[in-house]
Amino acid sequence: MKRSIAGMLLVGMLVLCMPGAWASVVLGGTRVVYPANEREVTLQVENAERVPRLVQAWVDRGDPQSRPDNADAPFLLTPPIVRMEAGKSIALRLMFTHQESLPQDRESLFWLNVMDVPPQPREGEESYLQLAYRSRLKLFYRPAGLPASAPQAAESVVWSLVTDGHGGYLLRGRNASAYHVSLNSLELRDGGRSVGNEGGMIAPAASHDFPLPGLNAAPSASAKVRYQWIDDFGALHEHEASLGR
Protein backbone atom coordinates (compact mmCIF):
# COMPACT_ATOMS: atom_id res chain seq x y z
CA MET A 1 0.00 0.00 0.00
CA LYS A 2 1.34 3.40 -0.94
CA ARG A 3 1.48 6.19 1.60
CA SER A 4 1.87 9.84 0.80
CA ILE A 5 4.54 11.87 2.56
CA ALA A 6 1.82 13.93 4.20
CA GLY A 7 0.21 10.80 5.56
CA MET A 8 3.45 9.76 7.23
CA LEU A 9 3.95 13.05 9.09
CA LEU A 10 4.00 12.78 12.85
CA VAL A 11 0.83 14.19 14.30
CA GLY A 12 1.66 16.11 17.46
CA MET A 13 0.06 18.33 20.00
CA LEU A 14 1.56 21.61 21.10
CA VAL A 15 0.51 22.76 24.56
CA LEU A 16 0.49 26.52 24.99
CA CYS A 17 0.16 28.12 28.40
CA MET A 18 -1.77 31.28 27.65
CA PRO A 19 -4.47 33.53 29.19
CA GLY A 20 -8.00 32.14 29.01
CA ALA A 21 -9.09 34.87 26.60
CA TRP A 22 -6.96 33.27 23.87
CA ALA A 23 -8.57 29.88 24.24
CA SER A 24 -11.98 28.63 23.11
CA VAL A 25 -12.79 27.58 26.66
CA VAL A 26 -13.63 30.59 28.81
CA LEU A 27 -13.06 30.47 32.57
CA GLY A 28 -15.28 32.22 35.08
CA GLY A 29 -12.42 33.87 36.96
CA THR A 30 -8.72 34.66 37.01
CA ARG A 31 -8.04 33.12 40.43
CA VAL A 32 -9.72 30.82 42.92
CA VAL A 33 -10.00 31.35 46.67
CA TYR A 34 -10.74 28.24 48.72
CA PRO A 35 -12.02 29.13 52.22
CA ALA A 36 -10.97 26.35 54.58
CA ASN A 37 -14.43 26.14 56.13
CA GLU A 38 -16.08 25.39 52.77
CA ARG A 39 -16.74 21.83 51.62
CA GLU A 40 -16.04 22.75 47.99
CA VAL A 41 -15.72 25.66 45.58
CA THR A 42 -16.67 25.79 41.91
CA LEU A 43 -15.32 27.42 38.77
CA GLN A 44 -17.55 27.98 35.75
CA VAL A 45 -16.12 26.82 32.43
CA GLU A 46 -17.76 27.65 29.09
CA ASN A 47 -17.12 26.35 25.59
CA ALA A 48 -17.45 29.47 23.43
CA GLU A 49 -16.76 27.58 20.20
CA ARG A 50 -19.19 26.05 17.70
CA VAL A 51 -17.58 22.63 18.01
CA PRO A 52 -17.11 20.30 21.00
CA ARG A 53 -13.96 20.63 23.11
CA LEU A 54 -12.22 18.31 25.53
CA VAL A 55 -11.33 19.93 28.85
CA GLN A 56 -8.88 18.48 31.37
CA ALA A 57 -8.12 20.02 34.77
CA TRP A 58 -5.68 19.38 37.62
CA VAL A 59 -3.99 21.17 40.54
CA ASP A 60 -0.24 21.45 41.11
CA ARG A 61 2.06 22.97 43.72
CA GLY A 62 3.74 25.50 41.42
CA ASP A 63 5.48 23.44 38.75
CA PRO A 64 4.55 24.86 35.30
CA GLN A 65 5.61 21.53 33.75
CA SER A 66 3.18 19.51 35.84
CA ARG A 67 0.86 16.98 34.23
CA PRO A 68 -2.34 15.34 35.45
CA ASP A 69 -0.47 12.08 36.09
CA ASN A 70 2.17 13.60 38.39
CA ALA A 71 0.29 16.43 40.11
CA ASP A 72 0.04 15.67 43.83
CA ALA A 73 -1.71 18.69 45.33
CA PRO A 74 -4.24 17.80 48.07
CA PHE A 75 -7.31 18.67 46.00
CA LEU A 76 -9.89 16.63 44.14
CA LEU A 77 -11.35 18.00 40.91
CA THR A 78 -14.56 16.75 39.35
CA PRO A 79 -14.84 16.18 36.52
CA PRO A 80 -11.08 15.87 35.87
CA ILE A 81 -11.75 15.47 32.15
CA VAL A 82 -14.94 16.19 30.25
CA ARG A 83 -16.24 16.66 26.72
CA MET A 84 -17.99 20.00 26.39
CA GLU A 85 -20.55 20.52 23.68
CA ALA A 86 -20.59 23.73 21.67
CA GLY A 87 -21.92 26.71 23.60
CA LYS A 88 -22.33 24.75 26.84
CA SER A 89 -20.88 25.39 30.28
CA ILE A 90 -20.04 23.25 33.30
CA ALA A 91 -18.97 23.81 36.89
CA LEU A 92 -15.61 22.42 37.94
CA ARG A 93 -15.94 21.29 41.56
CA LEU A 94 -12.83 21.62 43.69
CA MET A 95 -12.55 19.86 47.07
CA PHE A 96 -9.74 19.84 49.64
CA THR A 97 -8.90 16.21 50.47
CA HIS A 98 -7.43 16.79 53.97
CA GLN A 99 -4.66 14.33 53.08
CA GLU A 100 -2.12 16.72 54.55
CA SER A 101 -2.11 19.53 57.09
CA LEU A 102 -1.68 23.01 55.64
CA PRO A 103 -0.57 26.05 57.67
CA GLN A 104 -3.46 27.64 59.55
CA ASP A 105 -1.78 31.00 60.19
CA ARG A 106 -1.45 32.03 56.53
CA GLU A 107 -2.66 31.27 53.01
CA SER A 108 -1.16 28.45 50.94
CA LEU A 109 -0.69 28.81 47.19
CA PHE A 110 -1.48 26.16 44.58
CA TRP A 111 -2.17 26.34 40.84
CA LEU A 112 -5.27 25.22 38.97
CA ASN A 113 -4.64 24.06 35.39
CA VAL A 114 -7.40 23.95 32.80
CA MET A 115 -6.40 22.54 29.41
CA ASP A 116 -8.52 23.04 26.30
CA VAL A 117 -7.94 20.27 23.73
CA PRO A 118 -9.36 20.85 20.22
CA PRO A 119 -11.36 18.15 18.42
CA GLN A 120 -9.75 15.61 16.10
CA PRO A 121 -9.44 16.71 12.46
CA ARG A 122 -12.05 15.78 9.91
CA GLU A 123 -11.75 12.55 8.01
CA GLY A 124 -9.37 12.88 5.10
CA GLU A 125 -7.07 15.44 6.72
CA GLU A 126 -3.78 13.55 6.72
CA SER A 127 -1.53 16.06 8.47
CA TYR A 128 -2.36 18.59 11.10
CA LEU A 129 -1.06 20.28 14.23
CA GLN A 130 -3.18 20.36 17.35
CA LEU A 131 -2.82 23.29 19.72
CA ALA A 132 -3.91 22.63 23.29
CA TYR A 133 -4.31 25.78 25.38
CA ARG A 134 -3.59 25.54 29.09
CA SER A 135 -4.66 28.24 31.54
CA ARG A 136 -3.03 28.39 34.98
CA LEU A 137 -4.92 30.10 37.77
CA LYS A 138 -3.69 30.87 41.26
CA LEU A 139 -5.52 28.83 43.88
CA PHE A 140 -5.37 30.30 47.39
CA TYR A 141 -6.23 28.01 50.29
CA ARG A 142 -7.41 30.45 52.96
CA PRO A 143 -7.69 29.24 56.59
CA ALA A 144 -10.52 30.57 58.72
CA GLY A 145 -9.90 33.31 61.25
CA LEU A 146 -6.92 35.01 59.62
CA PRO A 147 -6.31 38.50 61.02
CA ALA A 148 -7.32 41.56 58.98
CA SER A 149 -8.40 40.97 55.35
CA ALA A 150 -6.90 40.53 51.90
CA PRO A 151 -7.66 44.16 50.85
CA GLN A 152 -6.10 45.46 54.07
CA ALA A 153 -3.03 43.34 53.40
CA ALA A 154 -2.64 44.73 49.89
CA GLU A 155 -2.76 48.32 51.12
CA SER A 156 -0.41 47.69 54.06
CA VAL A 157 2.68 46.66 52.09
CA VAL A 158 5.77 48.48 53.39
CA TRP A 159 8.07 49.74 50.64
CA SER A 160 11.78 50.49 50.74
CA LEU A 161 14.55 51.04 48.22
CA VAL A 162 17.62 48.79 48.12
CA THR A 163 20.60 48.60 45.78
CA ASP A 164 21.03 45.67 43.42
CA GLY A 165 24.82 45.56 43.72
CA HIS A 166 25.33 46.71 40.13
CA GLY A 167 24.62 50.41 40.41
CA GLY A 168 20.85 50.04 40.14
CA TYR A 169 17.94 49.93 42.56
CA LEU A 170 15.24 47.51 43.63
CA LEU A 171 11.88 48.35 45.15
CA ARG A 172 11.38 45.99 48.08
CA GLY A 173 7.84 45.23 49.20
CA ARG A 174 7.39 43.76 52.67
CA ASN A 175 4.14 41.88 53.29
CA ALA A 176 3.67 41.23 57.00
CA SER A 177 0.16 39.82 56.56
CA ALA A 178 -1.18 36.27 56.29
CA TYR A 179 -2.38 36.84 52.71
CA HIS A 180 -0.72 36.74 49.31
CA VAL A 181 -0.57 40.18 47.69
CA SER A 182 -0.83 40.13 43.88
CA LEU A 183 0.35 43.25 42.06
CA ASN A 184 -0.58 44.06 38.48
CA SER A 185 1.90 46.93 38.20
CA LEU A 186 3.84 49.38 40.33
CA GLU A 187 5.87 52.53 39.89
CA LEU A 188 8.10 54.79 41.92
CA ARG A 189 7.11 58.44 41.47
CA ASP A 190 9.46 61.26 42.35
CA GLY A 191 8.27 64.67 41.25
CA GLY A 192 7.63 64.49 37.52
CA ARG A 193 9.62 61.31 37.07
CA SER A 194 8.38 57.75 37.36
CA VAL A 195 10.04 54.34 37.01
CA GLY A 196 7.84 51.26 36.74
CA ASN A 197 7.73 47.50 37.09
CA GLU A 198 5.26 44.93 35.76
CA GLY A 199 4.43 43.68 39.24
CA GLY A 200 4.27 40.20 40.71
CA MET A 201 3.28 38.58 43.98
CA ILE A 202 4.45 38.91 47.58
CA ALA A 203 3.93 35.83 49.75
CA PRO A 204 2.65 36.05 53.34
CA ALA A 205 5.22 37.21 55.92
CA ALA A 206 7.78 37.72 53.15
CA SER A 207 9.48 40.33 50.98
CA HIS A 208 9.87 40.59 47.24
CA ASP A 209 12.29 42.77 45.26
CA PHE A 210 11.08 44.48 42.08
CA PRO A 211 13.77 45.80 39.69
CA LEU A 212 13.54 49.46 38.66
CA PRO A 213 15.37 49.67 35.32
CA GLY A 214 16.49 53.19 34.55
CA LEU A 215 16.74 54.37 38.15
CA ASN A 216 20.41 55.21 38.72
CA ALA A 217 20.16 57.71 41.57
CA ALA A 218 18.38 57.66 44.91
CA PRO A 219 14.99 59.44 44.84
CA SER A 220 14.03 62.34 47.09
CA ALA A 221 12.40 61.96 50.50
CA SER A 222 9.00 62.79 48.97
CA ALA A 223 9.01 59.84 46.55
CA LYS A 224 5.85 57.71 46.47
CA VAL A 225 5.04 54.17 45.40
CA ARG A 226 1.86 53.78 43.37
CA TYR A 227 0.69 50.27 42.65
CA GLN A 228 -2.28 48.28 41.39
CA TRP A 229 -3.28 45.27 43.44
CA ILE A 230 -5.64 42.48 42.38
CA ASP A 231 -8.53 41.38 44.59
CA ASP A 232 -10.18 37.96 44.99
CA PHE A 233 -12.37 38.59 41.94
CA GLY A 234 -9.60 39.76 39.61
CA ALA A 235 -10.52 43.45 39.86
CA LEU A 236 -7.77 46.08 39.98
CA HIS A 237 -7.40 48.66 42.76
CA GLU A 238 -4.88 51.49 42.95
CA HIS A 239 -3.05 52.54 46.10
CA GLU A 240 -0.25 54.96 46.91
CA ALA A 241 2.24 54.63 49.76
CA SER A 242 5.26 56.51 51.02
CA LEU A 243 8.71 55.13 50.46
CA GLY A 244 10.30 54.02 53.72
CA ARG A 245 13.90 54.65 54.61
The better pLDDT of the pair 149, 122 is held by: 149
Question: pLDDT at position 133, please?
Answer: 85
Which residue segments constitute the domains of the chain, with CATH numbers given? 13-142 (2.60.40.10), 150-244 (2.60.40.10)
Q: How far apart are CA 213 and CA 197, in angstroms?
A: 8
Q: How far apart are CA 136 and CA 139, in angstroms?
A: 9
Q: What is the pLDDT of residues 20-73, one digit of tens each?
A: 444 588 999 999 999 999 999 999 999 998 888 899 999 999 999 999 999 999
Q: What is the pLDDT of residues 60-118, one digit of tens each?
A: 999 999 999 999 999 999 999 999 999 999 999 999 999 899 999 999 999 999 998 87
Total residues found in the chain within this entry: 245
Determine the distance from the C-alpha atom of residue 165 to the mean position of all C-alpha atoms in its chain, rounded to a whole number. 30
Q: What is the pLDDT of residues 139-194, one digit of tens each?
A: 999 999 999 999 999 999 999 999 998 889 999 999 999 999 999 999 999 988 99
CB 199 within 8 A of CB 186: yes
Give 5's contacts (C-beta < 8 A, 6+ positions apart): none
The whole model's pTM is what? Answer: 0.87
Q: Position 103: which residue type?
A: P
